[in-house]
Structure 1
Amino acid sequence: MAAPAQSSNAPEWSVSELSSALKRTIEDAYGYVRLRGEISGFRGPHSSGHCYFSLKDESAKIDAVVWKGTYARLKTKPQEGLEVIATGKITTFPGKSSYQIVIDQIAPAGVGALMALLEERKRALAAQGLFAAERKRPLPYLPRVIGVVTSPTGAVIRDILHRVQDRFPRHVLVWPARVQGDTCAEEVAAGVRGFNALDPAGPIPRPDVIIVARGGGSIEDLWGFNDEDLVRAVAQSDIPVVSAVGHETDWTLIDLAADVRAPTPTGAAEMVVPVRSELLAIVHDRARRHEDAMLRRLERLRADLRSAARALPRPEDLTATQRQRLDLAAARLAPALAANARAFEQRLAEAARRLERGSPRVRLSRARGRLDALAERPRRALDSVLHRRRDRLEGLAARLAAGRGRLVELERARIAHGTKQVGACGDRLRKLALAGVHERQRRLASLWQLAESLSYRSVLARGYALVRDAEDRPVRAAGAVSAGAALSIEFADGIVAARAEGGRAAPPQETSSGETASGEAPASAEPRPRPRKRTPKPAPEPSTATTTASRAAPDPARPKQGSLFDL
């Protein structure tokens, strides 16, 4: 027999209760902590969006969790091997009996970690072509509107405005943004995108150039300008961007993505606008040089014109030969006109003589004579043609009359032959129709005899009766009838109602013909259901050609046998 268990006053815990107690104890004792360590085992966000990894140092390791919503808000994303300072809540995970930190914020641990992260981000963005030199654009020489993204309360905006006012006053738009802190990158990127979203024809003019400016500071102060989203916003800007972040020795990733990098905010203002006084001096100098050049060119052209004028001949000398030729032509013109008139006069006289010989009157008289000579010839020819045509038509009429008579005789003969054929076909069809009718009458008579022989009414005619119960069903055995049951008995000449009395009769004996000794129909011969009363269908009258004298006339006193067609 087993010994009884030793009693103890220690409280009894379940596993879940102990896990919950440990969880409350750890969370109450530590709460939120800042933990420094190296990220280990990071493989990117889980399919659920959460991140699971570990923080370790040279002698210990702790599990870490970053929930999906927190991961989206982190400025510094977890990376394998990155040394960070994580802020979060210490808790336990009962499923593995382990403790872990739920991280809310992550920051690089020290300048070395920041530089390593910066170099890694720089290589990744450079591989995507965001820092390529071929995509950088030149600045406009004299912009109408200058957009500045910076803090509106700092000294940077005052330096830029003062420098622009001194060099060349231009319209300046300021997009206020924090230039340090957690929201720095987001606000500066919103400023760059906001200037690009302005409508050129809208109430607020769109800048021709954008300056992103901030004073100097440590790498932690300037870290917002290394944000990946801000670098992409600067690289995707349609407006040229000048980066003026920090002093000349400071550099950030937007310096590489911008179109131009200025050493200081003041230097950015100097790059964007030229000096107005220098431009005026250059314009005046070039205007003076242009005027001197025009005067020298005019003097040179005037001298060339005088030289060319001296080499030209006098106008009288140029037209002397032409005037002499004109005088000689005028002297020869009068005799030439007279000779030309005489020549045309001779040609006209010759033409008149030819016209007289070929006058229309002469030609008409000649044609009338020829027409008179030919007037009788058409009449004689027409009479001859008419006689020949009349003879031909009379011959054709005679031939047509003879042919029409022959055609009429042939058509009459063909019609008579067709009439005979139609009569013969009609006789054959009439005989065939009569033969078909006689054959159907014979088949119908034989079927009628067969139907009469198979009807149960022929059995009733021989003296038997059919007994039915109150539901009009045939009664096949005496045992099926109870005392006092209403019955109906059908005879050959009608139906009689009856009621059953008590007692059972001896079973009837079959005769050799299959009938019972009582004279009733055998039980095996199932009578058909009671037919509806109908007017008996008269038998078809046989034709006179097929009437037989051997069929006896029906007896009027004998009940008429039923038909299968009445069922």
Structure 2
Amino acid sequence: MALPFDDDDYGDDRKAPLLAKAVPGDNAEPLSVSELSARLKRTVEDRFGFVRLRGELSGVKRAASGHLYCCLKDDKAVIDGVMWKGGAQRLAFRPEDGVEVIATGKLTTYPGRSKYQIVVETMEIAGEGALLALLEKLRARLAAEGLFSESSKKPLPFLPATIGVVTSPTGAVIRDILHRLADRFPSRVLVWPVLVQGEGAAGQVAAAVRGFSAMPSNGPVPRPDLVIVARGGGSIEDLWSFNEEVVVRAVAECTIPIISAVGHETDTTLCDYAADRRAPTPTAAAEMAVPVRAELGSQLAELALRKRRCALRPVALGRERLDARVRHLPKPEALLAARAQRLDEASERLRRALRERAAGAGARLDAQGARLSLPLLRHRVERAAERLVRAGLTPALLQRQFDVARKHFAPVARVLPQLDPDKPLARGFARVTTATGHTLTDRAQAEREPTLTLKFRDGDLTVVPNALPRRAVRSKEPGAQQGDLF
């Protein structure tokens, strides 16, 4: 069978075999692809069982299974990386593209694609510069969402009744806060104990902030009016839990005003940006939370003094105006001088007039005295008696007229006592009258009156007819009943 190419294609006189033939004594048995891949995998894993790579993350993605897939690259090469779910959950930061990291793990191969990759066991940020770059990138992303907006900041209460503190219960921070609050204004403090650094610290801090925010206002435990998130100073790695996105979102979404007091004055975390107020130290946070009670007392005293002065100022001004007006008023004695002079003149004229009138009356009395002499009076009486006799009005005549009138009225006088309506009262009878004294003879009239007067022999009795119980009495007519007045 001829070959479809010439011998010159090989450059010599040999011809390519068509079938693979086993050569006697040959120990190079052909390998399958799987066998080669397995040998490469063992060789790579044995040779590179522990490596540390420094590179920039690229193509970071987290699968639904929880595994983390990424690439590590520098300016000349790139290698695939995978981090299984258990290791990815223990990461202290959130991997993102562009972050320079140091990954620790082992190299292996992926036969399905004939590629080698690193199985990452731990991943750390490569140096403080890379950590700050990651922090700045996260800060810019959260700021773009409006988590650090000044318009969303809530004002701090002037005097919170209950203060919630999120911090470690064993550190010096909580003691400093309690001591400062006791010095300034003793308040009720609720401490939510959390880890402030290390694995799980960010989740505990976020859960504590959300727990305070979710407390009911009328529950058995009083809901805080103010929350302080506090931690002492440390390196950027120690404070990294307060830069975690879960903490920042919990602080920004809290419905209670929050003071962030993480680290010292020069330390800044993303929690400080999200909080309603940042305190340079935990002690300063306690000072922001409550005022000084002694200063409040002095302010109240000053306000009371100012109130008193404000109340008395119109009185003082009125007194000044009154004094000014009084100075322009005339003297009382000047006002009364003319009237006093007229009074003196009138008194003098009155005395003179009384003396003159008394003198005139004495003169007239002396002039009439001559006419009132005893002989003259007797003469006038005698003349009057004579005129009376001539008129016929002697006492005997008047007495006869009285006797005739007495005889005429004698029968009437004998009958008059029998007609007296009160005469039968002595025999046990009573007379019913109205309040005006009108005698009643009918029951219907008596029922219409609000009050009745019963006249007895020894006095009157006022009764109310409608308030008296009624008892039936036997009437002269069969079957008839009459209400008893009593």
Give the TM-score normalised by structure 2.
0.57
Counterpart of 2:287 (choices 262, 270, 286) is: 270
Unaligned runs of 5+ in 2: 2-16, 330-486
Please say if residues 38 and 82 of structure 1, whose CA atoms lie closer than 8 Å, have aligned partners that are also in contact.
Answer: yes
Counterpart of 1:237 (choices 254, 259, 263) is: 254
Equivalent AA in structure 2 for residue 119 of structure 1: E
Q: Aligned pairs, how many?
A: 310
1-side partners of 2:224 and 2:131: how far apart?
34
Please say if residues 179 and 214 of structure 1, whose CA atoms lie closer than 8 Å, have aligned partners that are also in contact.
Answer: yes
The structure-2 alpha-carbon separation of the partners of 1:33 and 1:182, relative to structure 1 and needing over 3 Å to count, comes to farther
Alpha-carbon distance, 1:78 to partner: 3.0
2-side partners of 1:103 and 1:276: how far apart?
57
2-side partners of 1:301 and 1:237: how far apart?
56
**Residue 14 of structure 2 is aligned to residue 5 of structure 1:** no
Q: Deviations over 1:222-276 (max 9, x none)?
A: 1111111111111100000111111111111111111001111111110111111
Please say if residues 76 and 106 of structure 1, whose CA atoms lie closer than 8 Å, have aligned partners that are also in contact.
Answer: no
Where do residues 23-422 of structure 1 align in structure 2 (5 Å cutoff)? 23-40=41-58, 42=59, 44-45=61-62, 51-67=68-84, 71=88, 74-297=91-314
Alpha-carbon distance, 1:85 to partner: 1.6
Give the TM-score normalised by structure 1.
0.50
2-side partners of 1:77 and 1:8: how far apart?
56
2-side partners of 1:19 and 1:77: how far apart?
34
Alpha-carbon distance, 1:63 to partner: 1.5
Unaligned runs of 5+ in 1: 312-567
Q: Deviations over 1:52-73 (max 9, x none)?
A: 4321235543211234675566
Please say if residues 243 and 260 of structure 1, whose CA atoms lie closer than 8 Å, have aligned partners that are also in contact.
Answer: yes
Equivalent AA in structure 1 for residue 26 of structure 2: S
Q: Deviations over 1:7-52 (max 9, x none)?
A: 2235664332343344344435544544221123x16446877554
Q: Secondary structure at the match of 2:208?
A: helix
Alpha-carbon distance, 1:89 to partner: 3.8
2-side partners of 1:47 and 1:268: how far apart?
42
Equivalent AA in structure 1 for residue 306 of structure 2: R
Q: Secondary structure at the match of 1:119?
A: helix
Where do residues 408-447 of structure 1 align in structure 2 (5 Å cutoff)? none
1-side partners of 2:66 and 2:233: how far apart?
38
The structure-2 alpha-carbon separation of the partners of 1:6 and 1:38, relative to structure 1 and needing over 3 Å to count, comes to farther
2-side partners of 1:162 and 1:142: how far apart?
17
Where do residues 440-479 of structure 1 align in structure 2 (5 Å cutoff)? none
1-side partners of 2:64 and 2:244: how far apart?
25
2-side partners of 1:81 and 1:199: how far apart?
43
Other-structure match for 1:19: 37
Please say if residues 90 and 199 of structure 2, whose CA atoms lie closer than 8 Å, have aligned partners that are also in contact.
Answer: no
Please say if residues 34 and 85 of structure 1, whose CA atoms lie closer than 8 Å, have aligned partners that are also in contact.
Answer: yes
Alpha-carbon distance, 1:201 to partner: 1.2
Q: Whose radius of gyration is greater, 1 or 2?
A: 1
1-side partners of 2:182 and 2:63: how far apart?
55
Please say if residues 77 and 106 of structure 1, whose CA atoms lie closer than 8 Å, have aligned partners that are also in contact.
Answer: no
Alpha-carbon distance, 1:287 to partner: 2.0
Alpha-carbon distance, 1:277 to partner: 0.9
2-side partners of 1:257 and 1:37: how far apart?
31
Alpha-carbon distance, 1:295 to partner: 4.2
Please say if residues 83 and 113 of structure 1, whose CA atoms lie closer than 8 Å, have aligned partners that are also in contact.
Answer: yes
Please say if residues 185 and 229 of structure 1, whose CA atoms lie closer than 8 Å, have aligned partners that are also in contact.
Answer: yes
Equivalent AA in structure 2 for residue 183 of structure 1: G
Q: Secondary structure at the match of 2:71?
A: strand
Percent of aligned positions that are identical:
59
Alpha-carbon distance, 1:291 to partner: 3.1
Other-structure match for 1:323: none
Alpha-carbon distance, 1:131 to partner: 0.8
